[in-house]
Every structure is written in C-alpha cells, then in structure tokens.
Structure 1
C-alpha cells in the first residue's frame, strides 16, 4: 500500500485539507409534503423517452411532475402519455403561451420557447413557484434536438428567476446533474401484525448514486452494476428493517405518553417533541462516533412507573435516546445479512429493557417435554436435530425393579475464542475449525466483523451481544448466562471475541463464571437445578489488534532507535469510569484501546499542564480504524492537532472500532525512516554497546546514568530556549515536520493492499 500524498505542503493552508475542484455536491431531494408547505413541482421540458425517465425518478421522490411540451398529447412518447392520462403527471402545452403572431420582435425561433416559459411562469401562484427545470429535448441522439442558442436563452431566463436547470448534453448549462442510480428492493418485515403491511415490496429506502462528474456516463452505469452485484441481495431489506426498528424504538414511549398524558413527559425544551428530535445524532451520519459514552444502566426494568421514571432512574426520554443509540450500534456493527433477516419479534427483543434472558421452563421443570420448549427460530445442530430435542431421562424411583437409563445428554463445551483484528485469514487454525466444524451456537461480540461471521455455516445459530452504550455490563451477563444454558444442553458453544480475548475482552470474568457458575440465573426466581459439571472452558488465543493494527500501517510497537518498550492501556474502567493514563516516557509506545470515543479527555489528560511527566504536544499519534478490513484507515498527527484532524472534513465520521498509538514509533518507518529519536547508546534491545556489555553490569549502569544525564540536560536546555513551553524540542519539531510535511498537521491513509486478496477465505 503506497502512502498517499499529504493533505497539504503549503503553510498558508493552516494544515487543513486543500479542496480539489471538479467534484459534484451529491444531494438527495425528497418532495414529500410537510405540514408547513407544499413542495414546488418538478418541471420537465420535453416529451420523449428521456423526459419519461426523469419523470419516473421524480415521481418516486414524491414530486409533483409537470411536463412542458408543444402541440397535443399525440406528440408525447407512449409512457408519458399514459402517465398523463392516469393522473401521475401534469401536461402543459407551451403553444398556449406563445404569441409570435402579434409581436414582430419574436422572429428568432430560438427565443419562442423562452418567452412562452416566461409567460407561463409569471402566471403561476407563489405556492408553485418553480425550483427545478430539466431540459430533455437537447439530447444529442435526437433529430429534433433543441438548439444550443434556445437552451442558453432558457437557462438565462431560469437564472433570473432563481430556477436550477439541468440541460441534457450541455454540461456548462447545468446547475445540477442526475447521477446513475439504483434502488434496492425493500421487502416487508416478516410479521403477523399489520404494522409492517405498509412497507413497499419493490422500491425500497436504499438508493445508491454514481457520478463521474461528466467524464463517462456509460462507465458510471457499469460501475453501478459492479457495486450492486457485490452487495448482498437483501441489503435493501436490511435498510427497511432498520427503519422499522427505529420506529419501534420510539413506539412504546409514544404509546405510554398517550396512556398517561398528565404525568408522562420528555425532558427537553418541549413536551411535544418527537423522541428522535431529542437526540438528532442518535442514528445519523452527523455524529463523530456511535460509541459516545453514556452512563451504565444499574438495574433492570420491565414496566413504566406512572411518575415518568423507570425503576433504574431513567426518564422516558433517556430510555428513547438509549434505544436510538442501540439502533445506531446495530446499524454500524451487525452483518447486513443479519439485519435483513430480523423479524419484528427480533427487533422488539433487541430493544427490550430486560438485559438477560430467562431460563427455559425445561431447565427448571423436568416434567416438561422437549416439544413444549422447542424454539422455531433456532438453527439446527450438526446432527440436524433442533436444540432442546435431546431426550431427557425419565424420573425413576429408587425402588424400581428397572434400572435407570443412562443419561443421554452429551456434555457440552464452551470455547472462548479470539477472532483476530478482522481479516478472516488472521484467524488461527484452531479458531477457524471451531467456527466452521465444531460450533452448535456462536455468541459473538458486536465488534467481530461480518467477514468472520460469514465463515460460520448457516446451520449454526449466531447471536450478537447487545453491548451498546450504557448496556455493556448487562449484555455481558446475558451472554454468559446464555453460554452456560446452551452448554448444559449438550451444545458446543463458541464465545467469539475480537482480537485476543485476554486483552480487555473480559476473558477472566467469563472463565471464572463458567468455572463456578451460580446455582441459578439471577433473571429467574425458579428453584435451582443441579447440573452436571461442564468440561473446563477452552480458551483459543487470537491475534491481538493492539499489535496487529499498527503493523498493518508499518507502525512498529518497538523499534530500535525509536521505542524500547510498549504499553497497552485503556481510559475506560468498570462502569465507564475514566482511568488515569500512563506518564510520558520517550522510549515507550503507548497503545490505547477503547478510547477514541473519549479522545478529547484522553488528549487533555496526556498533555496536562506542561509538567515533566506530561506528554509534549508534538508527540506523534496515530488513530487506526478497522484494521485489516478493506476500509481500514489511519489518521496520523500530533497530540495537539489530532482532535482537529478527527473533526476535519477530510476525516469525517469515525469508523469504529478504533485505537490510538502514541509515541515516536508512529513516525519511525515513514519515508526514509526516523530511528534516531533515542540516544546513540540505546539500541532498543536492552544493550548500550558491545563494549559496555563486556565490561560488566557496573560499568553498564554508570554508562546508562551518564547517557541519561546528558539527554536530560540537553532536553532542559532546549526547553528553556523555547521559553519553557512544550513546543520546545527543536529537533523533535524538525522530526515531526519531516514526517508530516512542512505546514501539514495530519495525514490520512486508508485501504487494504490488494495483495491481501491472496489470503481471502471463502465462506460456506
């Protein structure tokens, strides 16, 4: 992967990205009527097949379409004539507004339609004042093509009336253009209720648009087809399901408000606000990250109290905000195929307040037969038998003359597996076999990428943890309880985590829970049941993202001459508590996991107040997102500029999951290399020089002290020369300037090298 050109090399740009002219501002318009105004019609000049295409696109956008032509409907193409006759579009004959027989000045035929349009527009009421006009009869391939002089005259008229114009095959006479689009079908949500009956069955909410900025319309069509064929066939249904889920996230609280109008309120400036308006960034692309930290919910709630608060202290508005954030998380992390397969029952379950599932009746009541507890939505096991179908041993008396039958329930097994940083080829062989051959059910964390989940056979049930903001602790408990229940049924349970499970993966909590399980689930009040002990949990290590992610961008955690050690930490403690960050050591690389959402507080803590133990503001930092995935990205900057970089137009929204790498190793391998950061005697491998090592530890210790003292004195002198500020070390500032570029404050690199295609793994 070749490094991209830096954003800017000119100090006068302030380090911000330099706009590159020639692009199009891609906007999407909807002409749906609102309670406050009626959208102006969409006007189309022309009556051929292209006009029919433009009309159809406008109709699908809920626009009121007006076709402007000449003569009667016999001169109109068949499709437009049908739509006019069936009331889908309106027809205006411009000949009715032409007056050339009484005005000798209108001898130029190129001005006839201009004056007719001017007269027609002048007679329109303000409520239907035109905003868009599409001229379609300038198509190059037609024999009756409108002249350029006529098109230019109409374009000038429209500009005088603030009307945006699109002129076919005349790019210089276009204020807007039409992208090559595709609309994915959006099938109804599978549900027994009537609430999903309104969803369309052909055209859906998802549309994609491709533009070549006028450089190749035919090629744009081909690129569109390439993209469409590479997306899942039911991706449109996934979008429809997310839309339905967003409505369900607000539906319960809206219904409760109607039930208790005098006591049920939303916190905010107005009690009549839509719950979604209370948090406009809950499920849009304007939020920098869907992982914005919010307090953990301490308790569980199953009903709404009449005072407007839930038993765990949440107001109704807080609960609605939380649900909308959960929808955003599901949209961000879950595989498209899983989103498309959601039923309305699934959606309500994902948004349910209760965190953990209850135990099934069969687990606590041996008298219940297996058929009464069978779940129709569960996948079959490798023996093609549904779960819960293992026969339970009958109850026998100790005085019976018949021997008790042997216990036919096979012992279950829990496998705790690390999925690596993301690319399926970075799975270990053991993890791959567990997922593809051994698993009966997979309980996956939300950060496990879809490419890894795609390797799991379709016969295996996959459950994704609801570790959304404010719900991590509940979701963790839910997954541990589920794993234990499934293993007690004799199933092979794969608990799938990203990276390595022992690196901030709650590995210890789960091992201890499975080793010493509680006598009964805290989510049920039924009597405890004695279960045979399970085999020890098998932990399969994974490639840690903390090490793999920097390597994907040629950033070493240790490098001779730049870093002699590295430290992995996180700013997030139990219950979301902010933790202390490590102090600055010049020779150490710090890898920060789960901290990008708290970037501002992390940077503020690191830079501090300028004390010796604080980080200089010019220290390099890299934020790595979605490492080893096709859309992987790294943003490289300094501590003082990284916030501005992440908020810049060039970077846009964050792409979770992300991590930070802080220290001089970030810039060590850029270009010709920058491996002279540390003192000459430190080779980065614990030796100062061959001579010192041969003369014994005493001399080595003295040499180290001398080097350290000289280095400290040099730094102190440079700090004083810079008036005591952290901008001080002139040599380090030079290093940063050589690394990023003179006047450049950050760099963005993205994309996975095509060579990685050699290691793709085909799914079932």
Structure 2
C-alpha cells in the first residue's frame, strides 16, 4: 500500500533508463518540463528506435535540458547514478525511471532482469527514489492520473494501490464529468485562489496583521496535512469583529467559512467586495450566466415539480384542496405574503420534511443559515433568490441582523420568504426571537403578511440516535437535558450540577470545548470519567462519530479537529449500546 503525497521536482536531475514507447516518453517529458525538472537524461535500450527518440528530444529541448546517452554496455549503467547528478548533492541523480523490458511488455531477458536488479539494489542502498514501469514492488514513487487546474495548480488524483490502473482512470473520468465539470470547479478554484491572493496582498501592506490567523483558518500556503483544524471555528469576540481595523481578518474568516460550508456553485461569483462589506452576500448574482445553464435551471425546477407532485399525493385531502384552490385563484388577486421559519433538519435530504420541501419550492426569497448542507440547498432551483448568512463564531449577532434586514426588505416587496434554518427553528435556532421581530415589523408597517413555523428534526435528537445512543433507557438514563455551548454575548450559560442518570446534549459547543470542559469539571464538579460522544454532520454522508471521556475531550478535539455542525452527548447512555474499549478515543466515519 502507498501513501498519496506531493512531490516537488523543481531543479532536480532525472535519469530514465529505457523509454518503453514514444507515447510514454512524450507524456513523461511533458510532465517533467511542467514540473520544472532542470535536466532529463535518457539512456535508451539498443533495440529502440533512436531516430524517433532523437526527433522527439529535439522538439522538447526548449522546455527542458535533455541529454541522450547511447550505451552499448548496460552493465555500467549504475555508474551514472553517481556521476550525472547536481553538484549540490555530490553528483547523485535525484530520481530514476526504469522502463526496461519485462514479462508484461515482452522482450524480457535474463540480462535485462539482472541489470534491473543491480539498479534496484544501488538505488535502495543509496536512497535514490526509483519508479519502475510494470514493477511496482521495486518502485518507491509513481505518477497517478489527475485532473488539474493549470491556472491555480490545484490537482485531484486517484491511486488504486496496485488494484488495477483502469479502475483509477474510470473513476477519474466519472469525477471529471459528474463533479468537476458539472460544478464548474475550474471557475470555483480560479475565483477562490484569486480572492486569497488579493487578501494576501492586503496583508502584505499591513504589518499589524497577525500571521497566525491564516494558519488557524486554513488559508496558509501548504496542504491540509500541516493544518490543525481544531481552531477553525474558534470563538471571536463581537467587539473585536466590529473594529474597522480588523476588516482584513473578518474578510479572511468569511472566505474560509465560505470555502468550508457554502455550495460550490455559489463560490464562483464571490467577490472581494462581498468579503469586505458586511451586507453583500447575494448568492444569486451570475449563477445563471448562459443559455445552457438557464435550461439546466428550468430542467431542475421541472424535476422538483415532479417530485412535489408525487409528494402532494401523500398530503391530506384538506391540504390538497387548499393547493388546488390557490392554483385556480386569478392572478389579479393579491395574495398575502408569508415568512416561513423552516427547519431543515440535521442536513440530510432524507430528513427534510414534506412541508419544508413545499415551502422551499413556493418561496421567492430564501435566507439560509451558513451550515445548511449543499445536499439540501441543491433542491433550490437556480431561479430562486438565495442569500446565505455570513457567520463565523463570534459574529452571530451582526449576521443575524443582516438576515433580519433582508427579510424585512422582502416583506416590503410582498415576497414569499423562507428563512431556512438548521435543525428546528425553536431549538437554539433564534426562531422565537425572529417570530416576535417579524410580527412586530409587519404590524408596525401595516403589511398584509404573516409568519409561519415549519418544524424540523433537531440534531439534538437525531445525533444521539444515529450514534447508537438511547437518550433514555431503564437503569441507565432517566432524563434528557439539551443545552447550548454558546450563550448570549459569547459567554457560557449557567449549567446544572452533575447528575449521573442524565443524558446531556450540547449544541454549538465544539468551537469552545476548552471553556466548556473547564466549567463542567472544575466549577460544576462533573465526573471527568463521564462518557462523551461527538456527533458531527449527523445523518449526512460525511457523518463522524467520536467517543471518548470528558477528561480527554479537549485533547481529542485538538487531534481530530472539528467538522461542524456537531453535538456533544454526555452520560452513561453513550456506552449503553457501544461499550467503552479503553482507548483514548474511537471514530466511526460515515452512516
């Protein structure tokens, strides 16, 4: 088995022994020249067509320094490993490509096999990386099929780990057509990288900007392996965010949050202005930019209409009568506009209620929470106006006000509005506040509108269920307590004293788990041996369930990072069906 990694060929000297075929040689030279290899040295076998090889090498001589060595005695080939390299590495070749005849390619001889063994032994002994065509057992690296955006350098590849190269090629084709091209990944990458570079330029003009910020939020110039994701959603004080001096930091945090949570199609049109202005975040701009995309939008809406038609058959007769009556009402009659606070459940489309789907389809304007997964947002036709909250831990109040302003603007225009919320509107979703605020605005401005509530499945109840945690169970737990990890003004709420027979569920607590654990253990004297389970992205394809103990919770979150939204479940019910195995933590990925 191998490990996928990124290789830097810049400035290296590569030695290729045998060329296999003109097509193979051409592809390798193209790749190595793009990767800025300084020198490419080729030693072809005697039986290969030298005229074609020489012509090919001349064609690429402007792109890469090429040396052709015609060797009659291959027994001496190992000497070149230590003579043709760079001066700074004592003339040792940086990498070796071996393409000598084998049983697979034919023309294999005892002499060639012995030469290959000598090369393998010398490379292994001197730690020279080697890639041997059709001999994976002796290879220490090889190239894999990839999709690459040339403007940004971002690349996606697949390794089958010796289980058949055709499998990887097929998977890559499927990904390219059904994911990469379908979601306009090239536009997404080029826009996001451009925004990051613009912010980087602003950063270089201000010496007061904290260099640690980009590491914390994942915009640092390195791949994910070197990033500690546990601080991605670290809480930031509201007064700090409102400081104009911190506009760069706010914009950086918004960009990071958008990359992590927003639907891919919306990220094609985000601008620097969107990042620097508090109230600009309309996701509908330029989403439908040409005829083909418009046709796709209409097709999607028609498909959703078909889905809703099937759903409507399951609705009650009274509901169906209302729908039919509304459809026959003359267009000249002005209808009462509505604001529907809609619970979208934990994130899985399968847990979205029929009422919620109907509300989404009939809305003119949809105002969505940041953490609404793309799976749910994907059923919104592109013709609908969509606005996604600009939230990160610490700026919830200002982002909430922006949503309220958008909602009021929509009411003034007589729009049907859906306020799409994670989970259930009335379970730590500010639904009660919005209900009062919107009704007050409607009454004050004498608008013909009403506010409706559509319930959703809360992750506080779904999370434990999908993690095999019975919240109540005889002789284990006789009480359920649902709490928040983020109180008013960023302060922790007042928690109760410890009770062993209780199942305690914390929403919005992962980003400040250190404060939470400290308060529970040191102030409220909770037993630090209490079983704990973190359920992230409950009921979604990328669900993650992590079990540990209260005393280890902070350490574990630092190790595994966070994957919001997540709930923390504590109490003996955590291990009622899944016994503790004594390890620091256990993880179960996926549904």
In structure 1, the residue corresponding to 2:84 is in which secondary structure? helix
| Map of 2:354 onto structure 1 | 429
Distance 1:358 1:592, change over 3 A: closer
Change (3 A) 1:148 1:278: farther
Residues 60 and 219 (structure 1 numbering): CA distance in 2 closer, same or farther, change over 3 Å? same
SS at match of 2:216: coil
CA contact (8 A) 2:504 2:571 kept: yes
CA distance in 2, matches of 1:207, 1:79: 32
* 1:287 correspondence with 2:228: yes
Change (3 A) 1:278 1:58: farther
Matched, 1:149 2:114: yes
Compare 56-65 and 424-433 and name the one that shifted more.
56-65
Q: Does 1:623 align with 2:515?
A: no
**What do the CA deviations read for 1:522-555 (whole angstroms, capped 9, x no partner)?**
xxxxxxxx95424221111111111011111221
Q: Does 1:243 pair with 2:193?
A: yes
Equivalence for 1:750? 589
Match of 1:163 in 2: 128
Aligned to 2:278: 355
Q: 1:643: which partner in 2?
A: 554
Structure 1 contact 283–324 (Cα < 8 Å) conserved: no
1:483 matched to 2:399: no
Pair 1:295–1:59, CA change in 2 (3 A):
farther
Q: 1:217 and 1:376 mapped to 2: Cα distance?
A: 42
Deviations 1:470-493 (A, max 9, x none): 432221111110111022112111
Cα distance in 2 for partners of 1:549, 1:65 equals 56
Q: Which residue is 2:170 aligned to?
A: 222
Of 652, 659, 662, the residue aligned with 2:570 is 662
* Structure 1 position 556, deviation (Å): 1.9
Q: Is 2:241–2:395's contact at 8 Å kept on the other side of the alignment?
A: no
Once the two structures are superposed, the pairs formed by residues 183-582 of structure 1 within 5 Å of their partners are 183-185=147-149, 200=151, 205-233=153-181, 234-254=184-204, 257=205, 265-267=207-209, 279-283=214-218, 285=224, 286-289=227-230, 290-297=232-239, 312=243, 314=245, 318-339=246-267, 341-342=268-269, 346-352=270-276, 354-356=277-279, 377=286, 411-436=336-361, 438-517=362-441, 531-582=445-496
What is the CA distance between 1:378 and its match in structure 2? 8.5
Give the number of aligned pairs.
536
Q: Secondary structure at the match of 2:83?
A: helix
- Take 2:488 and 2:52, find their aligned partners in 1: how far apart are those partners? 68
Structure (1 or 2) with the greater helix fraction: 2
SS at match of 2:250: helix
- 1:83, CA displacement in angstroms? 6.8
1:90 corresponding residue in structure 2: 65
Cα pair 1:434 1:494 within 8 Å, conserved: yes
Deviation at 1:129, TM superposition (A): 5.6
In the TM superposition, what is the alpha-carbon distance from 1:358 to its structure 2 partner? 12
| Counterpart secondary structure, 2:480 | strand
**In 2, Cα distance between the equivalents of 1:50 and 1:635?**
46
1:599 maps to 2:513: yes
**Alpha-carbon separation, structure 1, partners of 2:287 and 2:272:** 17
| Structure 2 SS opposite 1:281 | helix
Deviation at 1:226?
A: 4.2
Post-superposition CA distance 1:373-405 (Å, at most 9, x none): xx97588999xxxxxxxxxxxxxxxxxxxxxxx
- Pairwise CA distance, 1:161: 4.7
Aligned to 1:46: 18
* Counterpart in the other structure of 2:319: none
Deviation for aligned residue 1:169: 2.1
C-alpha displacement at 1:313, in angstroms?
6.0
Structure of higher RCO (CA pairs closer than 8 Å, 6+ residues apart)? 1
Distance 2:63 2:91 in 1: 17
Query: How many angstroms apart in 2 are the aligned matches of 1:495 and 1:448?
Result: 11
Question: Once the 2 structures are TM-superposed, how far is the Cα of residue 91 of structure 1 from its aligned partner?
Answer: 2.3
For the pair 1:181 / 2:145, whether they are aligned, the reply is: yes
Structure 1 residue matching 2:197: 3-state secondary structure: helix
- Residue by residue, what CA displacement relative to the aligned partner does 1:685-744 show, whole Å, maximum 9, x if unpaired? xxxxxxxxxxxxxxxxxxxxxxxxxxxxxxxxxxxxxxxxxxxxxxxxxxxxxx122x43
Deviations 1:101-159 (A, max 9, x none): xxxxxxxx5522222443333x7565986422222335554345582321222233334
SS where residue 415 of structure 1 aligns? Answer: strand
Q: Is the partner of 1:536 in helix, strand or coil? A: strand
* Separation (CA, whole Å) in 1 of partners of 2:91 and 2:385: 55
User: Residues 376 and 629 from structure 1, CA distance in 2 versus in 1: closer, same or farther, beyond 3 angstroms?
Assistant: closer
Closer, same or farther in 2 for the Cα pair 1:572/1:428, shift >3 Å? same
- Maintained 8 Å contact 2:81/2:93: no
Matched with 1:524 is: none
Q: Does the residue aligned with 2:251 lie in a helix, a strand or coil?
A: helix
Mapped contact 1:621–1:638 kept (Cα < 8 A):
yes
Distance in 1 separating the partners of 2:15 and 2:74: 20
The alpha-carbon deviation at position 232 of structure 1 amounts to 4.6
Please say if 1:113 is aligned against 2:82: no
Structure showing greater radius of gyration is: 1
Please list the CA deviations of residues 537-595 of structure 1 after superposition, one character each: whole Å capped at 9, or x if unmatched: 11111111110111112212222221111111112122322333332111111100111
> Could you report, residue by residue, the CA deviation over 1:212-266 in whole angstroms, capped at 9, with x for unpaired residues?
3223333333333444454252223322222122123334454xx3xxxxxx532
CA contact (8 A) 1:606 1:615 kept: yes
Counterpart for residue 132 of structure 1: 95
Cα distance in 1 between the residues matched to 2:105 and 2:132: 14
- 2:29 corresponding residue in structure 1: 55
- Give the TM-score normalised by the residue count of structure 2: 0.81
Helix, strand or coil for the counterpart of 2:256?
A: helix
SS in 2 for 1:44: strand
Cα distance, 1:508 vs. partner? 2.3
